[in-house]
Structure 1
């Protein structure tokens, strides 16, 4: 790990899920479960953020015994422990249509998330079954996305050709300008959300809801989509498996998600500075 000399007590931990909180097989390391309990015992709140829809986070909230607000769709929707929507941002309709058209023309499999719905053009896309299993979410096959494009929280597209996904991310960032946020949430997914729907927005919203200052917040992540929240946190942690750009944006680097990196960061930097 790198050095960290902050003195502000940490009262809130905001963590990404995939690649950060969970291992590559989507299970929780036993030390992660223990460290989450240690946070609770110390009176430190743990909230989760993800590119997943909020209901795709439920299994981890239950496994960790969390009854706290959480944010899905990269900050596009923040919900309370009772699943009541506290904050929601949708993509402008014109931007949603541009994104869908470009992704489709590039040969990516496109999905649209609107409200509680996950809409696909076919259930045999390269990652549809994988996403359904991982998030325990169900999809609806539709012939046309048009009825949902004025109320879309997130658009995802996928391909097993990772270079193509990276190229589409860059192209859409140029096309979208300042009207939408475009980021890869994994090497095979590129996500489009409202321009203000990023994990920095989500982390600050969670801090306001919990009633703590950003200086008293620790954020942990592994992908470039996590960088906005790393930039607003009093303590920012990149996983050992993170991209170099993410590590450069963080104050400290911990072990990998397959190791006990998440728990090590909590025990080394957060718990010793508990209020």
Structure 2
């Protein structure tokens, strides 16, 4: 007898980019239909993303989500109407350390998310258009990040040089230990958030809000910020294109996002198991 049969899944927390969405930042009709089938079957469904909350709202509408979702890697929980329920800001000490390290790195763009805005200081680099396409809006140019130090939601180092971000992650981790979370949400993005701003905490908070035991939850994702929820979910699913280190921390591995791997996993491991 499968674990899904013993503990039928009642709540799914899903990553967005690289999981539910194709490279063009849109979900397939199959994925949309499968999420709707889950909700029709009585399964709660929500999102946990590194995206700012306002960049998640179009997907909340697309999938018909009617429970809170988690932005900024779990640092901010919002209701479907966009109102903020919980917000965990990055300590100023950790922000200063990260900003100093990233600003000194060549070929790395440094962004700050605060007050609902995406902020940048320097001339736009090649990553700005990519992020604009994904979020659906562009950055606000500021002279300094200093006025925002007491309310930063997330700092991002963005670069097409993935190895450079891996090196920065290794350098930053010990410097902000106990102060901040450091993870690569995608190979080209290195995120810095508050300690409680992680998808594992988001899953626990949302499951408690819904009254669902953790053994009846599922988590699915592809990035370095997703194992935090894998570690607490009853069922954890890694996308096929995820790095091996991410796959090793999941219960099962499905197809890639271009193969509609999320829909495949929902159909195979949750809908089929729950409807037997």
TM-score by length of 2: 0.95
In the other structure, the counterpart of 1:5 is 3
Q: In structure 2, how many angstroms separate the alpha carbons of the residues matched to 1:253 and 1:162?
A: 23
Contact persistence 1:255–1:264 (CA under 8 A): yes
Structure 2: distance between partners of 1:115 and 1:73? 13
How far is the alpha carbon of 1:271 from its aligned partner?
A: 1.4
More displaced 10-residue stretch of structure 1: 80-89 or 44-53:
80-89
Aligned to 1:71: 70
Partners in 1 of 2:169 and 2:190 — Cα distance? 6
Tell me whether 1:265 sits opposite 2:260 in the alignment.
Answer: no
How far off its partner does 1:67 sit?
Answer: 2.3
Q: What's the secondary structure of 1:207's corresponding residue?
A: helix
What is the SS of the residue equivalent to 1:178? coil
Helix, strand or coil at the partner of 2:37: helix
Match of 2:173 in 1: 173
TM-score (norm 1): 0.95
**Partner Cα distance (1:230, 1:141) in 2:** 36
Contact 2:120–2:141 (Cα < 8 Å) also in 1: yes
Alignment of 1:1-275 (within 5 A): 5-6=3-4, 7-107=6-106, 108-122=108-122, 124-274=124-274
Give the C-alpha shift of residue 114 in structure 1.
Answer: 1.1
Q: Are the equivalent residues in 2 in contact too, given 1:92–1:194 (CA < 8 A)?
A: yes
Larger mean CA deviation between 45-54 and 115-124 belongs to 115-124
Q: Stretches of 4+ moved more than 6 A in 1?
A: none
The runs of 5 or more residues in structure 2 that have no matched partner are none
Q: SS of the residue aligned with 1:27?
A: coil
**Deviation for aligned residue 1:233:** 0.3
Q: Relative CO higher for 1 or 2, CA cutoff 8 Å, sep ≥ 6?
A: 1
Counterpart-to-counterpart distance in 1, 2:35 and 2:13: 12
Structure 1: runs of 5 or more not aligned: none
Query: What displacement does 1:274 show?
Result: 3.5
Alpha-carbon offset, residue 180 of structure 1: 0.5
Please give the per-residue CA displacement for 1:6-27, whole angstroms capped at 9, x wherever unaligned: 4101111100011111112222
3-state SS of paired residue (2:236)? strand
Q: Is the 8 A contact 1:29 1:259 kept in 2?
A: no
Contact 1:44–1:274 (CA<8 Å) still a contact in 2? no
Q: Which range is displaced more, 119-128 or 135-144? A: 119-128
Q: What is the distance in 1 between the residues matched to 2:193 and 2:239? A: 24
Equivalent residue pairs, number: 273
The answer as to whether partners of 2:179 and 2:194 remain within 8 angstroms in 1 is: yes
